[in-house]
A and B are shown apart, each in its own frame.
Chain A
Amino acid sequence: MADVAFARHPDLIRRLEAHARAVRIATVTMAHHGKTPHVGSALSCVDLLVALYFHAMRIDPHATGGDEDRFVLSKGHGCMAYYATLAERGYFPRDWLATYAQNGAVLAEHPSPLCVPGIDVATGSLGHGLGIAAGAAVGRNLNGRPGRVFVLLSDGECNEGSVWEAAMFAAGRRLDQLVAIVDHNKLQAMGRCDDITALTPLADKWRAFGWDVREVDGHDMGALVATLEGLPFTMGRPSAIIAHTVKGKGVSFMEDDTEWHYRPPNDDDLARALREIGG
């Protein structure tokens, strides 16, 4: 599938990969300057965010509040990648990123509402985003307005019962403009997901809750593009994408290591990370 997408849009895929490198550079830089945790969680979802914001979603950073697609970052702790993506896409100036996690800045360690251009939904506590996204999808239906609602969850977040409440609700309401993407990097705050709860088989769980599900390599831009172009997977059903990812993706010493859920990069870490990501 990935090769097909690449063959069809080689320039698009190369362009998206370049954006992803820029977002990764901004992300590790923010974690270093802000001395904040969650750099692994942010790097995990960079390619997903770039595929959404630079290709799949129908959006206009200069004309928000209309019929454009909506996005909810339910895994709010991944917001360094979110801020970097929004800046890269033109929602606000890139130099705002230098204020991340500083006193008095609007870019906090979890996204707040009402003050960051492009962010309508504040998160930080897990298990909230899917219900809000489902409500927005119902609102679009009631208002007879187009536009899809994308929500990005973490796999650890799927421990929360409220995720499954909302999943049942969305399937019951046949919200086929709702798309849930699970950043499935197999690690959560205290260890391997499957050592903590029986998360596997994750795709089967979403299927059992009435969603049409696709699994994809969450770092293969061609595969992501092809999967997102297939939405909605089935009319009358919400769509779930289980994106197989690697926590800390793009920086070898951060990959698949829970340490980087907590540790901010020091000067040496940053230099090595930037060399690896290149650009």
Chain B
Amino acid sequence: MRNAFIRALTDVAANDPRIVFITGDLGFKLFDDFARRYPGRFLNVGVAEATMAGVASGLALEGKKPFIYSIVPFATLRCYEQIRDDICYHDADVTVVGVGGGYSYGPNGATHHALEDIAVMRVLPNMTVLCPGDPAETVAAVQALARHRGPAYLRLGRAGEPVVHATPVSFAVGDSLLVRDGRDVAVLSTGNMLATAVGVAEVLATRGVSCRVLSMPSVKPLDTVAIDAALTQTRVVATLEEHSRLGGFGGAVAEHVAERGLATIFRRFGAADHFAHVCGDQDFHRQANGLTAAQVAAALIDLLP
């Protein structure tokens, strides 16, 4: 996803001289091509995320369209008040890019895990939240943000995420993508759990259960029309995210589901509400939180009436 992001941003920057890329001293060699092609539009502010967010706001004031980049906790939590005041309050045209969603930086430990970012970013007024599910969605998200105006958060995985969409896709802010249709269960997935969601559907198919997979890269705004369709056309609706079960994508969908007042069974799949205290890679932590395709499929079968 990271490489897809960099390629897509380098492409859109060719047609939009307002785009400036700012890093908090992360991405060694990754942005050399961008920096070479667009002199002056690549900025390393140093290990100073609060300044990165403030500088981006000031650049937006002068008509620029900055993308600021760091590992998720540093890009979001470290400078959260700057994001709220300097970017969102001013409705500044700034995109915060977080790399390493969920357990992407698994062995680096809980300081590098990103399990709260969707929750805290989506609560901010004016903020758009996009969590693409694979490299193709990442390209589409960057293109959507190039057309968008206003504060945005782009949550990436890291590198090597499986390709789910074999061909390029396109979506606008607020859209979802139907990956696979189904009538018994609907799995609504955001971010880097998309390949797992497809895996869940495959496991369920072997058990004779028909599963819809809806990719929802736009967490804010949500495609409530697609959620309503899932609520009325299937018997079990589940959300899947590599993020705390509290307050994130599942929380956002749950808010909508509760107010719809339908009897459809609803379940959130995500990380448990605790810090990891043992070392582990992404797969290890997913397993520990019941987030593998087999674990999710088994839980859904138990829920089926």
Report A155-199 residues with CB < 8 Å from chain B CB: 161-162, 165-166, 168-169, 172
Report B24-75 residues with CB < 8 Å from chain A CB: 40-41, 43, 45-46, 48, 50-51, 53-64
CA–CA, A161 to B54, complex, Å?
A: 13
- Which of B20, B56, B58, B86 gathers the greatest number of chain A CB atoms within 10 Å? B58
Given A132-B86, A168-B46; 14 other pairs, CB 8 A cutoff:
A114-B91, A123-B85, A125-B81, A127-B50, A128-B86, A130-B54, A135-B54, A136-B61, A138-B55, A139-B58, A139-B61, A142-B41, A162-B54, A169-B55
Q: Are A131 and B54 in contact (CB under 8 A)?
A: yes
Q: Are A165 and B50 in contact (CB under 8 A)?
A: yes
A236 at the interface (CB under 8 A from B): no
Nearest to B54 among chain A residues (CB) is: A131
Nearest to A162 among chain B residues (CB) is: B50
Contact of A139 with B63 at beta-carbon distance under 8 Å, contacts A168-B46, A169-B48 already known: yes
Nearest to B17 among chain A residues (CB) is: A142
Contact of A133 with B58 at beta-carbon distance under 8 Å, contacts A139-B63, A142-B20, A142-B64 already known: yes
Give B residues with C-beta under 8 Å from A: 20, 40-41, 43, 45-46, 48, 50-51, 53-64, 81-82, 85-86, 89-91
CA–CA, A120 to B90, complex, Å?
A: 8
Q: Are A122 and B58 in contact (CB under 8 A)?
A: no
Contacts of A128 in B (CB 8 A): 54, 81-82, 85-86
B81 vs chain A, min Cβ distance (A):
6
Contacts of A149 in B (CB 8 A): 58
Contact of A166 with B85 at beta-carbon distance under 8 Å, contacts A136-B62, A140-B62 already known: no
Contacts of A130 in B (CB 8 A): 54
A191 vs chain B, min Cβ distance (A):
24
A137 at the interface (CB under 8 A from B): yes
Q: Count residues of A near B (Cβ-Cβ below 8 Å).
A: 35
CA–CA, A138 to B52, complex, Å?
A: 12
CA–CA, A226 to B85, complex, Å?
A: 35
Among A123, A125, A135, A161, contact of B61 (Cβ-Cβ < 8 Å): A135
Q: Are A125 and B85 in contact (CB under 8 A)?
A: yes
Contacts of A127 in B (CB 8 A): 50
A121 at the interface (CB under 8 A from B): yes
Q: Are A165 and B51 in contact (CB under 8 A)?
A: yes
Q: Are B85 and A124 in contact (CB under 8 A)?
A: yes
A203 at the interface (CB under 8 A from B): no
Contacts of A141 in B (CB 8 A): 40
Contacts of A134 in B (CB 8 A): 51, 54-55, 58
Per CB-CB distance, the 10 closest pairs between chain A and chain B, nearest first, are A135-B58, A131-B54, A139-B62, A135-B55, A136-B58, A165-B48, A162-B50, A165-B51, A132-B58, A131-B51
A143 at the interface (CB under 8 A from B): yes
A113 at the interface (CB under 8 A from B): yes
Contact of A135 with B82 at beta-carbon distance under 8 Å, contacts A130-B54, A162-B51, A165-B51 already known: no
